[in-house]
Structure 1
Amino acid sequence: MDEPPNGRLLLAVGITVLAWASAFVVIRYVGPHFAPGSLTLGRLLVGSAVLSVSMAGRRRVRLDRREWSLVALIGVAWFGVYNIALNAGERRVDAGTAAMLIQLAPILIGVLAGLVLGEGFPRMLVLGGLVAFAGTLVIGVASGAGGGATSSGGATTNVVGVLLVLLSAVVYSVAMVAQKVVLRRLPGLQVTWLACLVGTVATLPFAGTLVREVAVAPTRSVLGVVYLGAVPTALAFSTWAYALSRTSAGRLGVTTYVVPPIAIALAWLWLGEVPALLAVLGGVLSLVGVAIARRPSRTPAPGA
């Protein structure tokens, strides 16, 4: 189902984009006090608790074997591998650069949705995606040229960090397409809840490390982990599932191009990671691409 934009749909997308943009900054902020795996587990424990409360009293749809396998894939890939790889990558690259690199995902999502889900390749979506991706490349060039903030490793971009963030983008795109399939019959909140529980179980081996780190971490960093679980995970993944069930995966995926400029602005204000002017221009170009991609393709006239 692909509904025309309405207030609720736009609000859901807006909440998701803002929450996910802030996540890049908070991950950088708490990173010195939590290892990638334990940070992921802490985030998912909080998210699972919030989502379990949200699911209390709600009707649950029974899953078949295929749906369970897809939910397990979403939980392990998106909630587990994605977060661990991103947390590790952000120990080596700044928040703005990480947000930019993740934008490989909408391109992959559009391709996978066209091939696997039969959504096709609308002209405006392809054009807007190319323009927005060009904007992210400009941001990358600005960061790579030394205009961004310096990471803990002493360089703005680190090959290992870049590869880890790109791994996050790949598993994110695969998981989103799987999510689109299960949302054809299952409620978005239920899918998010179950996937978060799966991801939590998958990351339980990091429990010992998490306990030790919470005991010595500053209160503000612990609160940062709570925020990551409650807002970018529980809330934003739910609003994302709501929006995904009401529009195409390719068209929704390209809206995440708004994330890098927001993340860069937040990192600038909170972490003092000052972006280069070229990075700002790249962010504007990304926004233009999103606007193009959201425009419906022209329908041929009858008889054309």
Structure 2
Amino acid sequence: MRDFLELLVLGAVWGASFLFMRWSAPEFGTLTLAWLRVSGGALFLLPILLWRQGRAPLLQMGRVWKPMLFIGLVNSAAPFALFAYALQQLPAGLASILNATVPMWTALVAWVWIAQTPTALRLTGLLLGFVGVVLLVTARDAGAASGALHLSGVLACLLATLNYAVAAIATQKWLARLSPLAVATGSQLAAAAWLLLPGVLAWPAALPGARSWAALAGLAVLCTGLAYLLYFRLFARVGPSKAVTVTFLIPGFAILWGALFLGERLSLGMLGGGALVLAGTALSLGLLPRRAR
């Protein structure tokens, strides 16, 4: 029950991240927003780490600095920048549905990287999810400004979710001995290092407004610091395959926040494509009951 409640909270918080990016990305820009987000998350987590665990985790992180840098890149720096780019073109609901492809990518990466061969049923799920993505891309009512921008935004979302999948397997493979808090803090510090120069060089000429700064604070503290603390704790308790099922919850919350605060509507194309993506993800994870299969 505790794991389910934490998954629910995590889904609500990460669902809100799409709303916050829609508000802040146009004014901050792609790279600066991503840098400020991970830097704020690191500043939130570091004092908590030192208070609860002392300096010992910092020494442990120093011994695995190369894997930590890699995790920081593929779990935060790259996907946050890609989603910040995509959310300047796509509705929050559509981006969140594409985010639900993470478990499918995770199954594929596990197959290629650690020889975790999927069953025929899971391969069917991967194919079904791919069809759902194609439907989302080709839907005329997806809400993008133009076809070209729509496609580049969709591709950015898919590349971001592929990064998340690689990060999930890499974390299990290389950083399993670190505490969840240490992994969350170290990955944000590493991501901040990756994005420092690009974020500073891309600083916006005009000062962003109050709403953008508030949205940035929500992204840094809630959607990055607190969320990754919850995520890596679940990751350690239930494993990567179950932890990534939070992506099932994110679209519902993102669509709700988008409807309440952005006036977005769930179109028929999004509904059909999203249903296929979620069904394919459930099959690829083997989550459907035996009778339903």
TM category (shorter chain) comes to 0.7 to 0.9
TM-score normalised according to structure 2 size: 0.82
SS at match of 1:178: helix
User: Within 5 Å, which residues of 2 pair with 1:133-172?
Assistant: 140=136, 144-151=138-145, 154=146, 158-172=150-164
CA distance in 2, matches of 1:134, 1:248: 28
SS of structure 2 residue aligned to 1:158: helix
- More deviation in 178-187 or 288-297? 288-297
Code of the residue aligned with 1:102 in structure 2: it is N
Task: Determine if contact 2:8/2:249 at 8 Å carries over to the other structure.
Answer: no
Aligned match of 1:73 in 64, 70, 73? 70
Q: Verify: 1:85 aligned to 2:78, yes or no.
A: no
Residue identity (%) = 24
Paired with 1:278 and 1:296, the residues of 2 have a C-alpha distance of 24
1:267 to 254, 258, 261: 258
Change (3 A) 1:209 1:42: same
Letter in 1 for 2:15: A
Matched-pair contact (CA < 8 Å) for 2:128–2:276 = yes
Deviation by residue 1:163-184 (Cα, 9 ceiling, x = unmatched): 2222212222111211122442
Deviations 1:279-301 (A, max 9, x none): 34555666666777574988xxx
> Quick one: which amino acid aligns to residue 121 of structure 1?
P
CA distance in 1, matches of 2:281, 2:101: 14
Partners of 1:182 and 1:18 lie apart in 2 by 29
| Aligned residue in 2 for 1:244 | 235
Q: 1:207 aligns with which of 200, 211, 223?
A: 200
CA distance in structure 2 between the aligned counterparts of 1:34 and 1:134, rounded to whole angstroms: 34
Q: Does the 8 A contact of 1:33 with 1:221 survive in 2?
A: yes
How many residue pairs get matched? 285
RMSD of Structure 2 on Structure 1 (CA): 3.1
List per-residue Cα deviations over 1:175-205 (Å, max 9, x = no partner).
1211122442110110110110111111111
Q: Distance in 1 between matches of 2:180 and 2:224?
A: 13
Structure 1 residues 208 and 136: CA distance shift in structure 2, 3 A = closer
Q: Which amino acid aligns with 2:142?
A: G
Paired residue for 1:28?
Answer: 22
Q: Secondary structure at the match of 1:242?
A: helix
Q: SS state of the match for residue 56, structure 1?
A: helix
- TM-score of the superposition, structure 1-length normalised? 0.80
User: How has the CA–CA distance of structure 1 residues 189 and 26 changed in structure 2, closer, same or farther, with 3 Å as cutoff?
Assistant: same
Distance 1:246 1:119 in 2: 20
